[in-house]
Structure 1
């Protein structure tokens, strides 16, 4: 048995009454006394603070780091300007997604955030493939996300420089006298920040955010319902080693030059799917009734043929009903198409809808 890990904010979660669960080998709060519905609404209407310290934080140092990343990612990192961040993913030789990540050009180095459950894969992968690049995993910093329409005030009151940032920008600036990496991005569909804080100051800074009248703590439960409403993929559910970025409707995350040039793992498949279409595609699905459709539920066409399956599903508090994402075969998936979801052996009517379910509110 491997020992479960705790983030630098663990004692704060206990103090706040967080319900702690094992998540990817980390003891993490799934919710607080406010409850998942309340925390979800808090983020949509005001601001919520999430502990995301379980994510892997990595520094890349060396010559031409951006160009070297392009050999293992389909994104254009060689032209990523200092102070900018970009969503991307590692692909495998078959064109599947190994993991999705955020890469930032920090000027004298690159800063990468990878998924908690895939640190053991991603860091050796970078070390093996980024020749001449020092790959340093950081263990002495927390990572918190402050998300929601009031996030600018919550963070900006303590760090005025954060107010001037726009979506996918990153800076280093002091909060309570300690230098933090502040990136304007997130995983909720709302405006907000992810902030890397030295671990010995993480609780002090987090408590200062929570002292703002518009900020409350939120857990993994609300994080999942928020990202689902925002149409954002979850690794292991909506994307995996077999799924291509084109199937996952992530073609937008591959810049034009990379689409044309290739030169990354799986480029042949990805370029072919860009030109000819993929065998399946990720779509939004809205069940007609009240029963949520969970991962693995079969999707049938109106005439009873199996055309795909649900990959993420649950109740959408902002939508006020169940929402889901899943893959359907080519030839299906236009918004408005009527489908049936086989829940507990019975067909339940649903409709394919455009993603996201809730408008994304990033500060462009």
Structure 2
């Protein structure tokens, strides 16, 4: 199985992990709790393999309340945010959700994030392991006129899988039906008597929803959704194996400040107008890389047998070291190991024969297109 990281380099040492609003609920449901990104979180309930396959076939409920939820508002918001992110806000309509990147001055990735246009401002979701650094960075870079509100009193749940819509639709009401939401669209609904912001998005490659609600309502909403026959609680372990099959990178592993969006295969996070105009951190480096290419590229790898390649494993062509694995694990859906790696550009074509060094052995591998399992977003 893919190993979800349970230790985080950004975590402050000697601080007791914080508890999420659903901590007691997870324990009651049999969640095996681990420390991740400064919080105690469930890594699994009945087993990673079973939870993974359940989500692919039915619907899984994930607690992602460790993620940072931020609201930005104020005079001059559009220009201020476009100076910080490579996003085109002129094309981001009310209720729309868009993937973007927080970059340093050399084009390195500080974080990836989701940006939504809410009434009254922009709603951002940033990674839990980096949220304090992200908030500090944004406060430093944004003008004083921009108000940054960390929505730390809110919980965030993700309901993912082909039966997620059916389970959720039974409990929501609003000014328009849930079916009006297509992939990367969101809106305000009432969910079990609780006001919720719901977007059709996620991190599994499946159709699904992310649900922002007040923290004090999280247990009631989780219980309501898991009362549906299609839904089970799912832990961090299956979340990682699902995102790996979907070819989705994990910050701190497949994305770091040493990686740029071009080599990471995340150019779609730089909107078209910004690629021509620039004006965002690291633009000169990134626009040059778009023209000239990069020395290494993030690619997918497929392996035979059962032994999985793990992060840090070296990639070879013959005796030449040509790359390094950044994520790897056994694919429950495909029943063989898969991985992501940064590999020298000359050896990235699909089908290229490679070898991965694990425990003193060379594992045969091939460069493969991603996603490994096709996305099933509702467009």
SS of the residue corresponding to residue 331 of structure 1 reads helix
How far off is 1:166 after superposition?
A: 0.3
Where in structure 2 are the equivalents of 1:118-129 lying within 5 Å? Answer: 118-129=130-141
1:106 is the counterpart of 2:118: yes
1:41 is the counterpart of 2:53: yes
How far off is 1:78 after superposition?
A: 3.8
Q: Which residue of 2 aligns with 1:177?
A: 193
Q: Which residue of 2 aligns with 1:3?
A: 16
- Length-normalised TM-score, structure 2: 0.94
CA contact (8 A) 1:188 1:223 kept: yes
How far off is 1:304 after superposition?
A: 2.3
Deviations 1:201-250 (A, max 9, x none): 11111111101100000000000000000000000100001100000001
CA contact (8 A) 1:288 1:351 kept: no
* Match 1:292 to one of 308, 311, 317: 308
How far off is 1:290 after superposition?
A: 1.6
1:139 is the counterpart of 2:156: no
Deviations 1:111-148 (A, max 9, x none): 10111111111111111222111001012111000000
Supply the distance in 1 between the matched residues of 2:350 and 2:193 (Cα, whole angstroms): 50
Q: Which residue of 2 aligns with 1:344?
A: 359
Q: How many residues align?
A: 362
- Structure 2: gaps spanning 5 or more residues: 1-13
CA contact (8 A) 1:140 1:199 kept: yes
Q: Which residue of 2 aligns with 1:88?
A: 100
CA contact (8 A) 1:335 1:354 kept: yes
How far off is 1:353 after superposition?
A: 0.4
Where in structure 2 are the equivalents of 1:181-200 lying within 5 Å? Answer: 181-200=197-216
Detail structure 1 runs of 4+ shifted over 4 Å in the superposition.
Answer: none
* Match 2:325 to one of 310, 314, 324: 310
- What value does the CA root-mean-square deviation take over the aligned residues? 1.0
- Length-normalised TM-score, structure 1: 0.98
Q: Which residue of 2 aligns with 1:358?
A: 373
How far off is 1:163 after superposition?
A: 2.5
CA contact (8 A) 1:66 1:80 kept: no
SS of the residue corresponding to residue 202 of structure 1 reads helix
SS of the residue corresponding to residue 178 of structure 2 reads helix
Q: Which residue of 1 aligns with 2:172?
A: 159
How far off is 1:277 after superposition?
A: 0.6
- Structure 1: gaps spanning 5 or more residues: none
